[in-house]
Amino acid sequence: MTSIWLDKVREIPTDEFEPLATYDDVVIGAGLTGLVTALLFARRGHTVAVLEAGRVGGLATASSSAMVSRLQGAQLQKIRRRTYQSVVDAYVAGTGEAFDWLLGYAADAGVDVERRDAYSYATDRRGLARVDAEYLVGRRAGLDLEKTVDVDAPFATIGAVRLRDQAQLDPLDLVAALAADLRALGGVIVENARVTGVDAGDPATTHTALGDVSSERVHLTTGAPILDRGLYFAKIAPRRSFGLAFSGIDAAELPDAMYQGVDDGGRSVRSFGSQLIVGGGAHGVGRASSEAQIAHSLERWTRSHWPTAHTRRVWSGQDYATPHGVPFVGSLPRGRGRIYLATGYDSWGMTGAVSAARMLVSDVVGDNTPWMTTIHHRVTTPVAIGAALGENAAVAWSFARGWGRALTNPLLPGEIPSEGHGRVGIDGFTPVARSTVEGETCTLSAVCPHLAGVVTWNDQELTWDCPLHGSRFTRTGEVIEGPAGRGLARHDD
């Protein structure tokens, strides 16, 4: 299901693809990162084209709860545990500048922003320890955090950190404004232009199904990097989480702050007009036994605190975690200084995307600020290496489990999954993925074309998801997102 942000009818004009056109900068992906990057380059007089596989802002950015906050759950202690205080300080400085940039931009562009206090709250003892740690690490980095037990929320908490005067908005309003401003400066935005490859020549050539374009530089702002150079797909952990919108709640019961739980499985809560938005249920892509069950548990939790809540919408989206908790931004190895990437906001991309965009532009024009330099030159610690090894072990386990399950489960001739279900099994020597949706049964190869993981059925989104590196496919096999360059092949029954 799509998020509530897509309910509002908005015109986001775009451009025709011009084969063989030449630009200073080609930006791949029209999410928040791509649009801010493109706008900043256009403001410097560069010619820019944004090539988007689907719709402008239609993927992670459209799924976001869009809490724009310098207090980000328990993110700072994660970065501190895996790096150094100097990196936390740099992250906080970058986030602060991104916050100011975003709010300044929104004010100039007429995008509605509501100022709200942000809370990182705990409901159990482990959470309380995280609240304490976030307070200490954040204060050391200069954030004006307050510790409080006085959390005015309709659910029980045992402590929280508060940062006053943060913000919430509608991310698609922001996207529409960025796109319009970019085009007003001569920037080009092309939808339905999936990029299939980039050659780092002089100039660089970007290949799409519509044709090629060339440019001085190419910026990958696609969530998971779509090029395997630098093996970044193996350095980030793809995580999906849910957003749910509820109506039927008395105005007095709606939260007037933004809440992010720091316990395991912590939930976020904010309002949007007369609606309540609840987020949570983060899990590894393709690794949950039932996404629908996770969504139901979030609904149950919400109704236990707001009994009149009526579910209007349930959606999920994907973001990427790095081993050290700091985004990967910069020049791609073997990209000859022509290909750049930005990814890994760990669910805090409202400010993370803006920080990353500013870094990409500074890398090119050569005006890196001290916080950017610190982030670029951070040293990988043994703890971060341990986190990366843990994720790679999970990938190896998912690979073995997927193949093991497929090979030991023969698909019977004529076997048809019930409505809304999908099942993986072996047909002859081939692992196949078969689903039935709206009465239509479709059989595909179950092997992800990226690195041969066996896909699993996502019973909430009715998609096939790869548990290795987060590629996702429609029930008929087309790529939705992730590093896979092509879809799942049809399998003839």
Ligand X SMILES: Cc1cc2nc3c(=O)[nH]c(=O)nc-3n(C[C@H](O)[C@H](O)[C@H](O)COP(=O)(O)OP(=O)(O)OC[C@H]3O[C@@H](n4cnc5c(N)ncnc54)[C@H](O)[C@@H]3O)c2cc1C
- Minimum distance of ligand X from residue 31's CB (angstroms): 2
Question: Sheet harboring 440-445: ordered strands across?
Answer: 421-427, 430-437, 440-445
Pairing of strands 479-481, 472-473: antiparallel
Among candidate residues 256, 233, 5, the one with its CA nearest the CA of residue 114: 256
Torsion angle (degrees, nearest 10) of CA 226, 232, 233, 237? -130
By DSSP bridging, strand 463-465 and strand 472-473 are: antiparallel
Residues 381-440 contacting ligand X, CB under 6 A: none
Is 28 a binder of ligand X (CB under 6 A)? yes
In this complex, which beta carbon is closest to ligand X, that of residue 121 or of residue 348? 348
Could you tell me the smallest distance in angstroms from the CB atom of residue 59 to ligand X?
3
Q: Closest approach of Cβ 180 to ligand X, in Å?
A: 17
Give the helix ranges, DSSP H, for 148-274.
171-184
User: Rounded to the nearest whole angstrom, what is the least distance from the CB of residue 353 to ligand X in the complex?
Assistant: 5
The number of residues that bind ligand X (CB under 6 A) is 41
H or E element in which residue 356 lies: helix 349-365
Q: Which stretch binds ligand X (CB under 6 A): 28-36, 96-104, 110-118, 448-456?
A: 28-36
Residue placing its CB nearer to ligand X in the complex, 91 or 345: 345
Residue window 202-221: x/- pattern of binding to ligand X, with contact defined by CB under 6 A: -------------------x
Nearer to ligand X, 128 or 269 (CB): 269
Nearest to 443 by CA among 493, 374, 378, 481: 493
280 sits near ligand X (criterion: CB under 6 A): no
Q: Give me the residue label for tokens 């609606």.
A: 275
Closest CB to ligand X among 173 and 481?
481
Q: What are phi and psi of 414, to 5 degrees?
A: 75, 5
Query: Which residues sit opposite 428 in a β-bridge?
Result: none
- Cβ at position 315, least distance to ligand X in Å: 7
Note the helical H segments in 71-208.
75-82, 85-109, 125-140, 171-184
Closest separation in Å from C-beta 305 to ligand X? 19
Residue 374 sits at φ, ψ, to 5 deg, of -60, -45
Residue 97: alpha-carbon gap to chain centroid? 21
Shortest distance, position 167 Cβ to ligand X, whole Å: 10
Taking only Cα atoms into account, the Rg of the chain, rounded to an integer number of angstroms, comes to 22
Q: For residues 342-381, which are near ligand X according to CB under 6 A?
A: 345, 347-353
> What are φ and ψ of residue 431, in 5° steps?
-70, 125
User: Which of residues 352 and 425 has its CB atom nearest to ligand X in the complex?
Assistant: 352
Residue from 279, 402, 422, 487 binding ligand X (CB under 6 A): 279
The distance of closest approach from Cβ of residue 473 to ligand X in the complex, given in angstroms and rounded to an integer, is: 13
* CB closer to ligand X, 66 vs 76: 66
Q: How far is the CB of 464 from ligand X (least distance, A)?
A: 17
* Residue 29 found at the interface with ligand X (CB under 6 A): yes
Closest C-alpha among 367, 376, 373 to residue 44: 367
232: tokens are 């970044």
Tell which one of 4, 12, 27, 32 touches ligand X (CB under 6 A).
Answer: 32
Considering only residues 224 to 243 of the shown chain, the ones binding ligand X according to CB under 6 A are 226, 241, 243
Distance, C-alpha 228 to centroid of its chain: 19
C-alpha to C-alpha distance for 268 and 284, rounded to whole angstroms: 18
Site for ligand X in 307-336 (CB under 6 A): 317-319
CB atoms closer than 10 angstroms to residue 379:
9
- In the region spanning residues 242 to 261, those forming contacts with ligand X, defined by CB under 6 A, are 243
341 near ligand X, rule: CB under 6 A? no
If you write DSSP's letter for every residue of 262-316 in order, what string do you get? -STT--EEEEETTEEEEEEEEEETT--S-HHHHHHHHHHHHHHHSTT-EEEEEEE
Q: Is 163 in the site for ligand X (CB under 6 A)?
A: no
The CA distance from 316 to 318, in Å, is 7
Q: Rounded to an integer, what distance in angstroms lies between the CA atom of residue 459 and that of residue 294?
A: 10
Name which of residues 45 to 74 contact ligand X (CB under 6 A).
51-54, 58-61, 63-67
Minimum CB separation from ligand X for residue 492, in Å?
28
Q: How far is the CB of 309 from ligand X (least distance, A)?
A: 18
d(CA 157, CA 260): 11
Closest distance of CB 192 from ligand X, Å = 9
> How far is it, in rounded angstroms, from Cα 447 to Cα 16?
34
Task: Please report, as ranges, the residues that interact with ligand X according to CB under 6 A.
Answer: 28-34, 51-54, 58-61, 63-67, 194-195, 221-223, 226, 241, 243, 279, 317-319, 345, 347-353, 481
